[in-house]
Structure 1
Amino acid sequence: MAKARSEASLPAVMPITPPRGLSRLESARHIGVSATFFDQMVRDGRMPQPKRVGARVIWDRVKLEAYFEALPEEAEVDAPGRGWEDWR
């Protein structure tokens, strides 16, 4: 039996792509912190605010990664006058 045209054009192995929207727990896990510490980071601006999609509150994975990339390196935080409060 012949395959439908759309099935024939699909690759044998579909690439796995991570979800773009992450829950609070997934977001915290994604950046490597506890959910409670993640909440604190959102409140103080070190992590982005979430988006609301229907009843769900989700974080954009790409934006999380950009905020994570912008966090200071450990040596920068330990320098005099360069604490977290100065980062904002």
Structure 2
Amino acid sequence: MSLDQRTIAVTQISAAAACNALAALRLAVTEALTLGISSEEIQEILALAKDIQQQPISHVTHMIDQLFREQKKKTHEQSAHCDCGGHHA
């Protein structure tokens, strides 16, 4: 997969803001401005990242746990000898 410079800059800003990585955020914003991304667009990107950042971490943990359980169910092949407790046909 190949991403254009604008997409990379937006992703870097979002990731740096979400992680509170201030040095990386400074660099990403500077690069975005150099690429011609307006300060208004950057402010919008930051607003979205901050909105996401406000979600309680317990919700994130719950969702990840659920995704892992779903993935395990998809990859598990039930047999007469497994201990999964699932209903076997």
TM-score, normalised to structure 2's length?
0.28
Of Structure 1 and Structure 2, the greater helix share is in 2
- The structure that is strand-richer by fraction is 1
What is the TM-score when the length of structure 1 is the normalising length? 0.28
